[in-house]
């Protein structure tokens, strides 16, 4: 399990409940940043659940557009009442926002170096967008020795990847033993980050949702 916390441990619990023996190795670390958000945006745009802690309660009534259903559920738990999921990827999210045409400024709350293309696509479609960084992403510099040894010994059958950035971070660690493993990617874009490594196979979810990713392991 390569995704950042807190998602990594939550997904590991689901895998264990399915009868798997997961090992958690977050390839990215998330650090929140002080949010500098306007007080009265027309809408919020979220590409990752990692942005949710930075969003103030004063915005709970503002329309929120997000990439997937899992993030939508987290937003509702956090108190947001007007949440709509694109149930897809960033391109699907852009199409949803353009179709809804909510008046006013759309605040895109993202991680450092994230969201530039989405912001550009929305502006090209005539949507007013303000991109704000609300967390930083740091790549894992070295793989834990016990996990590297386990990979080298063929102790793992597969690995799950939820984002292209995580996939690239994992590949940069030069992990041993992947030629005998199966990679499970949330989308084709995520799978591209894995193609520099040898794999027994790279499997891509039918739709970019956790449910479809997990279905490949059932």
Domain boundaries, the chain: 7-27+142-215, 31-137
Same fold, 7-27+142-215 and 31-137: yes
Torsion of CA 175, 178, 179, 184, to 10 degrees: -140
* Mean pLDDT across 9-25: 93
Per-residue pLDDT at 151: 96
Q: What is the DSSP letter of 197?
A: S
Asked if the model's pLDDT at residue 35 lies above 90, the reply is no
Average pLDDT of every residue of the chain: 94
* Mean pLDDT across 139-145: 95
Per-residue pLDDT at 30: 93
**Cβ burial, residue 199 (10 Å; 0-12/13-18/19+):** middle
DSSP states of 84-125: EE-SS-HHHHHHHHHHH--SSPEEEEEETT-SHHHHHHHHHT
Edge-to-edge, what's the strand order for the sheet holding 201-204?
Answer: 158-161, 182-185, 201-204
Which three-class secondary structure string do you get for 14-71? HHHHCCCCCCCCCCEEEEECCCCCCCCCCEEEECCHHHHHHCCHHHCCCCEEECCHHH
Per-residue pLDDT at 6: 79
Pick the CATH number of 31-137 from 3.40.50.1370, 3.40.50.2300, 3.40.50.10090, 3.40.50.720: 3.40.50.10090
What is the share, in percent, of the chain residues with pLDDT greater than 90?
Answer: 89
- Per-residue CA distances from 153 to 58, 138, 176 (Å): 52, 28, 9
Dihedral sign from CA coordinates of 86, 84, 64, 72:
negative
- Where does the pLDDT of residue 132 fall: very low under 50, low under 70, confident under 90, or very high at 90 and above? very high
* Mean pLDDT across 83-93: 92
Per-residue pLDDT at 210: 86
Asked if the model's pLDDT at residue 92 lies above 90, the reply is yes
- pLDDT tens for 180-191 read 999 999 999 999
Cα–Cα distance between 23 and 159 in angstroms, integer? 9
- Where does the pLDDT of residue 142 fall: very low under 50, low under 70, confident under 90, or very high at 90 and above? very high
Pick the CATH number of 7-27+142-215 from 3.30.1360, 1.10.3470, 3.10.450, 3.40.50: 3.40.50
């Amino acid at each position: 399990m390569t995704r950042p916390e807190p998602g990594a441990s939550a997904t590991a619990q689901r895998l264990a409940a399915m009868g798997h023996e997961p090992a958690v190795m977050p390839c990215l670390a998330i650090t929140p940043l002080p949010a500098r958000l306007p007080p009265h945006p027309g809408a919020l745009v979220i590409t990752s659940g990692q942005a949710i802690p930075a969003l103030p309660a004063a915005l709970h009534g503002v329309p929120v557009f997000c990439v997937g259903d899992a993030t939508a559920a987290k937003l509702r738990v956090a108190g947001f009442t007007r949440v709509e999921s694109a149930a897809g990827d960033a391109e699907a999210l852009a199409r949803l926002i353009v179709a809804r045409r909510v008046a006013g400024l759309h605040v895109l709350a993202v991680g450092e170096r994230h969201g530039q293309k989405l912001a550009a696509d929305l502006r090209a479609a005539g949507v007013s967008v303000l991109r704000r960084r609300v967390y930083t992403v740091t790549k894992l510099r070295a793989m834990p020795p016990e996990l590297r040894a386990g990979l080298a010994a063929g102790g793992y059958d597969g690995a799950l990847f939820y984002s292209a950035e995580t996939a690239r971070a994992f590949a940069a660690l030069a992990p041993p033993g992947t030629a005998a493993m199966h990679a499970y990617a949330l989308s084709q874009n995520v799978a591209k980050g894995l193609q520099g490594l040898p794999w027994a196979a790279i499997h891509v979810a039918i739709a970019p949702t956790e449910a479809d990713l997990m279905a490949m392991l059932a």
